[in-house]
Structure 1
Amino acid sequence: MLKMMIVDDEEIERRALRMMIERYVPEVSVVGEAENGRLAVELAMELQPDLMTMDIKMPGCDGIEAVSLLHERLPAVKFIMVSAFDEFEYARRVMKYGVREYLVKPCKKEHIVNAVRSVVSDIDSEQRERNRIGELRRQAEQADAVLEAEHVAALLADRMPVGEPGHWRRLAGITDAREGAAIVVSVAGNGAGWTEADRRRAYEWIRSRIKRQIRSLVGPMTGLHVPVLAFPDETVPDGAGGGLSMRSRLVRSVRAFLLLGERELPDRKLAVGIGRAGAADRELVQSYYEALAASQVPHASGYGFFEDMPVLPDDVYPYPRESEEQLLRAVRRGDAEEAAAAFERYMDELLSMTRYDLERVKYDLQKLFAEPVRLLREHGLEARWPNALPALRDEHELRRHAASQLRMLTERLREWYADEHRGSIERAKAYLAERFDRELSLEETAEFVGLNPHYFSKLFHESCGVTFIDYLTGLRIEKAKELLADPKQILKDISLRVGYRDPNYFSRVFKKTVGVSPSEFRCALSVPSG
């Protein structure tokens, strides 16, 4: 029902008008009366009417002045002006304030009723038009949200159509070179008892609130996780004239989002994982998997960065590292059958160690797949992440899907190795990476790949840019550097672990390659920077 106010300095006029409206225009409710313009403005600000009848000639603040003030403060209100003077100048002065009707006293009943009904019709038409435009805007926003979510899903699944990179970033006002980071918002619980409507409401709330806090592209809800590509504003000041770091900007936005969640979703516990920053699509995909891992680790603050996640020892975080290494060795060689068998052993141990905690298993599988995906991409091959893992809820489905994805990646490597020259060198490099801690010769490696030693030496140098012995030495020295960072490792043991039986010879080779002795290198590591 529409609300109406009557403004006239004569009480009898107000009563008569009220009676006519209540009897002949029942869709309008008279909510207030005022005897002058000043009171009319005050009361209208309180009652927020849809239309008002306004006498022009009143003591103090007259009708024209009152209408001008109200038009500025309540521009949606419609006015019917009433005057004892049929003068064009009065009509002209008030029409610019949105006055719809001008009545001259004394007014016939039918003129008043028709004038009010005409204004009511105008208000109804405007409301229908606003509703129509609002519905079109809502539909457009929904379509944009669906397309945006599909874009994010395609990017994270590495199935972006040709010509699409950067398209949605530009539509969202984000430049191609702008640095961002992936965020994963997870809803605590297993979703048991959730209806599709529950899931949709949770997703729509997360999407709208996260966009309120940060410029972003929001992907679809998978399981109980929502992926977000966040691009914090670069001009946020830190209070000291400088700009906040990417990390600080993300923390500020995520904290505000989680506070909203506590107030508006008290029955849903939200957690946020944040990956490392990057600008390229590939870096954002990697950031997503880091954010997914970080979102699955409990944090007192409700959010956590992947870069802050501790590397826990096996006695605190049981993990089948030996089985994982056997599996990855088979994958690196492109041996699909051996990799499949190794994966079954790995999964058996992983499920047992995690006590069949599927969320933990998914998290560990995401980390496992990072190595074969990285390897294929380094060789210039297409490699898709197993994007469906987070949504799987059954141990057998999880095992079957992960095994299928791993076989696909391994067979891609095997096909790549099938090229005679390239494959021989890559298989030789994989062989060296597995056995650099032993005594190795060029002849033994050439025999492994089935090539004449002389031809293999020439081919290796041409392909790698270094000689066979220099490449092997590089592998050993890099591993030695890694071991020297651990003060518990003694030099003699390090020498043996990187393939040198004579510690003195190892020290000479290390110093020739690095420029300092192993002891000096270790001392330099222990000196605090800055």
Structure 2
Amino acid sequence: MKRVLVVDDERPVVETIELMVRRDLSAEFSVVGEASSGREAVEKAQTLAPDIVLMDVWMPGISGLDAVREIRARGLACVFILVTAYERFDIAREAMELGVLDYLLKPVVRDKLAAALRAAAAFADRRFELERREIEHREREERLRSFVEEAFLRAVMSGDGSGFDPERYRAALGIPGTRAVVGAAAFRALPGSPDPRDEIRGLYGSFRQAVRYKTRALAGPLRSGFSAVLLPVSGMDSAEAEIEALRVGLTQALYSELKDGRIRFGFSPAAPLGEAPASWIAAYRECLGLGSADGFGPSNPAASAAARREDEKAFLESLVSGDPDRARWALERILESMRIAGEPSVSVRYRLIGLFAEACRNLEVRGFLGTGTAGRLLDLDGLRSAPGMEGLAEAARALFSAIAQAVGEAPRWSVPVARAAAYIREHFSRPISLESAAASIPLSPARLSRIFAEETGRTFSEFLTGVRIEKAKELLSEPGASVKLVSAACGYPDPNYFARLFKKETGYTPTSFASVSREGTDEKP
């Protein structure tokens, strides 16, 4: 049903039109308001949002045509029908220029009113459909542009200049000129963030919005905590000014994120668009603090080795301290220094494998990774068999993401409780007690017992039993496992006591559990 506003300073005319609509056209139209002057018509149109306006030409104050002009200026999508006592060419011409659809002569006749309203309703429907199609077309264009923009920036972020053809993208993206500045953006959640991955996605969203609405640059996809920004420049003379404008725009939009280090940028010098992949590497290196493209990192081998050791130390410490983004940053620096050295040698590859192995052991000892999870993550065949430097880097990032996810899901205990849990995991095969664990921290047994139960939800003894039983299940799954040897390896010198306890905890005897595990059935608990 279409909404109608009736505007006329003659009350009988208004009442007659309202009566005809209510009596004969109520299934199609509804009079939602009336006005007796041009100014009132403008106000009512603003508040009532009618589909159709029946507008008298001559009224006190501003005329009907002036009211139409003002309503149009305010962007309201009304269809106008003039109501007039005179057939004058000058009025008709001005009305046509304002987009008035039709006019009715007074006194208004029911059939002509119905025809005019139906024509206006059909016009409104057609206009709505055209607007809807135009919006859909724009949305399709925007989706296509976003797809092309992402494909273009992905090609840039690959760092591989072979086969890179910017002309494929220039026309679709409307890139002017043949030169560009490439920037790298790194995103890092603050330590203690409840959901670092979600925070990084939020930072990337703020970055992408700032690039899109505050600059004329292009923003790349989010990959391993990094993204790219590409700014076309007109020429060498204007490059510095355009780069400065980009920096200012990003700084204004992302001031707090840049100030606290959650977002960091690096930029390449202006270069031909065809060299964008190489420019990305330069910007990426600057973002990591490894130097510019022409420096390729520290020239002193001793300094380079020292930096590598510092990055490895930061990687290990950050994982244990609960700062996975700092660890990821350190890993990216390690991978970049490896990439600079060329294809990874066997020794370099195994040094990276050893770094991940040490990280998993540290996390397991401190209670942040369960034994089974640590064992699964320590399957490092992906790093051993990854082809080339790019394959190795992708495998390392995937493994790091799996470790960071497992650590993020682990409970974050206090230092005394974490140390007690680590003590249990390290010494479960020996006769240990609450007293011996408390002495290793050091802390009084009573206080350790209380905070351990509060934070883990289990008593010290229950936690110790759980660790031993999980290890026993792991050992019993091995071919040829002996219940007696497994019992001793898990801190139970009496195999009979071990068997009773194992059945109580799992519902299986050690022998039946070993049998089910080796058969690979779904009955394993």
Please state which band the TM-score falls in when normalised by the shorter chain.
Answer: 0.5 to 0.7
Distance 2:49 2:101 in 1: 18
SS of corresponding position for 2:6: strand
TM-score (norm 2): 0.52
Q: Does 1:251 align with 2:247?
A: yes
1:155-180 deviation line (CA, Å, top 9, x unaligned): 21134673613543565444565341
Unaligned segments of structure 2, at least 5 residues: 298-302, 344-351, 353-358, 361-373, 393-525
- Paired residue type of 2:332: Q
Distance 2:132 2:203 in 1: 25
> Which string of whole-angstrom CA distances, capped at 9 and with x for unpartnered residues, describes residues 57-88 of structure 1?
43454334443454455474321111233555
After superposition, residues 310-329 of structure 1 pair within 5 angstroms as 321=305, 324=308
Determine helix, strand or coil for the equivalent of 2:101: strand
- Aligned pairs for 1:195-234 (under 5 A) are 206-231=207-232
Distance 1:404 1:90 in 2: 83
Match of 1:10 in 2: 10
**Equivalent residues, number:** 347
Query: For residues 410 and 94 of structure 1, what CA distance do their matches in structure 2 show?
Result: 70
- 1:180 alignment partner, SS class: strand
Instruction: Choose the corresponding residue for 1:273, options 265, 269, 272.
Output: 265
* Partner SS for 2:254: helix
Counting only pairs closer than 5 Å after superposition, residues 332-411 of structure 1 correspond to structure 2 as 351-356=315-320, 358-371=324-337, 373-374=339-340, 376=342, 396=377, 408=389
**Residues 345-391 of structure 1, C-alpha deviations (whole Å, 9 max, x = no match):** x99866545455543343234333444544559xxxxxxxx9xxxxx
TM-score if structure 1 supplies the norm length? 0.52
Deviation per residue, 1:491-515 (Å, 9 max, x gap): xxxxxxxxxxxxxxxxxxxxxxxxx
Conservation of the 8 A alpha-carbon contact between 1:347 and 1:399: no
Quick check: 1:191–1:224 contact (8 Å CA) kept in 2?
no
- How far 1:213 sits from its partner (Å)? 1.0
> Given residue 280 of structure 2, which amino acid in structure 1 is its aligned partner?
V
- Assess if the C-alpha contact under 8 Å between 1:6 and 1:14 holds in 2: yes
Distance of aligned partners of 1:222 and 1:28 in 2 relative to their CA distance in 1, 3 Å threshold = farther
Q: Deviations over 1:453-497 (max 9, x none)?
A: xxxxxxxxxxxxxxxxxxxxxxxxxxxxxxxxxxxxxxxxxxxxx
Match of 1:100 in 2: 101
Q: Is the 8 A contact 1:25 1:113 kept in 2?
A: no
1:54 deviates by 1.1
Distance 1:359 1:42, change over 3 A: closer
Task: Give secondary structure in 2 for the equivalent of 1:67.
Answer: helix
Matched residue SS, 1:99: coil
Cα drift, residue 130 of structure 1:
0.9
Alignment counterpart, residue 281 of structure 2, candidates 242, 266, 286: 286
Report if the CA contact (8 A) 2:187-2:262 is conserved: yes
SS in 2 for 1:277: coil
- Shift in CA distance, 183/46, structure 1 to aligned 2, threshold 3 Å: farther
Mapped to 2, the partners of 1:16 and 1:187 lie a distance apart of 70
The answer as to whether partners of 2:180 and 2:276 remain within 8 angstroms in 1 is: no
AA aligned to 2:330 is D
Whether the aligned pair in 2 keeps the contact of 1:218 and 1:227 (CA below 8 Å) is: yes
Once the two structures are superposed, residues 286-314 of structure 1 have per-residue CA deviations (whole angstroms, 9 ceiling, x without a partner) of 244236537xxxxxxxxxx999xxx9xxx
- Cα 1:150–1:398 change in 2 (3 A) is farther
Deviations 1:260-307 (A, max 9, x none): 999xxxxxx96243334342324422244236537xxxxxxxxxx999
1:134-186 CA distance string (max 9 Å, x none) = 11211221121122112211221134673613543565444565341314163
| Residue in structure 1 matched with residue 141 of structure 2 by the alignment | 140
Determine the structure 2 residue equivalent to 1:435: none
In the alignment, the residues of structure 2 paired with residue 45 and residue 210 of structure 1 have an alpha-carbon distance, to the nearest angstrom, of 35
CA shift at 1:28, angstroms?
5.3
Taking the aligned partners of 1:293 and 1:231, their CA distance within structure 2 comes to: 23
Give the root-mean-square deviation of aligned CA atoms: 5.0
Give the match for residue 438 of structure 2: none
Give distance in 2, aligned partners of 1:177 and 1:164.
Answer: 12
Unpaired runs of 5+ residues, structure 1, are 237-241, 263-268, 295-304, 312-318, 326-345, 378-385, 387-392, 412-530
Alpha-carbon distance between aligned partners in 1 of 2:381 and 2:28, rounded to the nearest angstrom? 65
Give the 3-state SS of the residue equivalent to 2:108 in structure 1: coil
Cα pair 1:184 1:225 within 8 Å, conserved? yes
Partner Cα separation in structure 2 for residue 194 and residue 351 of structure 1:
18
**What secondary structure sits across from 2:265 in the alignment?**
strand
The structural deviation recorded for 1:126 is 1.0
- 8 A contact 1:71–1:98 mirrored in 2: no
Counterpart of 2:165 in structure 1: which amino acid? E
Q: Is the 8 A contact 1:156 1:288 kept in 2?
A: no
The yes-or-no answer on 1:155 pairing with 2:151 is: no
The answer (yes or no) to whether the contact 1:49–1:77 under 8 Å persists in 2 is: yes
How big is the shift at 1:10? 0.7
Q: Please name the residue that 1:115 is paired with.
A: 116
CA distance in 2 between counterparts of 1:160 and 1:191 reads 39
In structure 1, what residue type is equivalent to 2:276?
A: D
Task: Decide which moves more: 66-75 or 101-110.
Answer: 66-75
In structure 2, how many angstroms separate the alpha carbons of the residues matched to 1:270 and 1:28? Answer: 57
Contact 1:320 1:350 in 2 (8 A): no
Q: Kindly indicate whether the alpha-carbon contact (under 8 Å) linking 2:239 and 2:270 is maintained by their aligned counterparts in 1.
A: no
Contact 2:187 2:204 in 1 (8 A): no
Distance 1:208 1:176 in 2: 24
Does the CA contact (< 8 Å) of 1:182 and 1:277 recur in 2? Answer: no
Q: Is the 8 Å Cα contact of residues 79 and 120 (structure 2) preserved in structure 1? A: yes
**CA separation of 1:376 and 1:140: change in aligned 2, threshold 3 A:** same
1:138 maps to a residue whose letter is E
Q: Cα gap change, 1:167/1:64 in structure 2, threshold over 3 Å: closer, same or farther?
A: same
Return closer, same or farther for 1:323/1:25 CA change in 2, 3 Å cut-off. same
For residues 149 and 48 of structure 2, the distance between their equivalents in structure 1, rounded to whole angstroms, comes to 42
SS of residue paired to 1:52: strand
Give the letter aligned to residue 274 of structure 1. G
Identity over aligned residues, as a percent? 23
AA aligned opposite 2:130: E
In 2, are the aligned partners of 1:278 and 1:287 still within 8 Å (CA)?
Answer: no
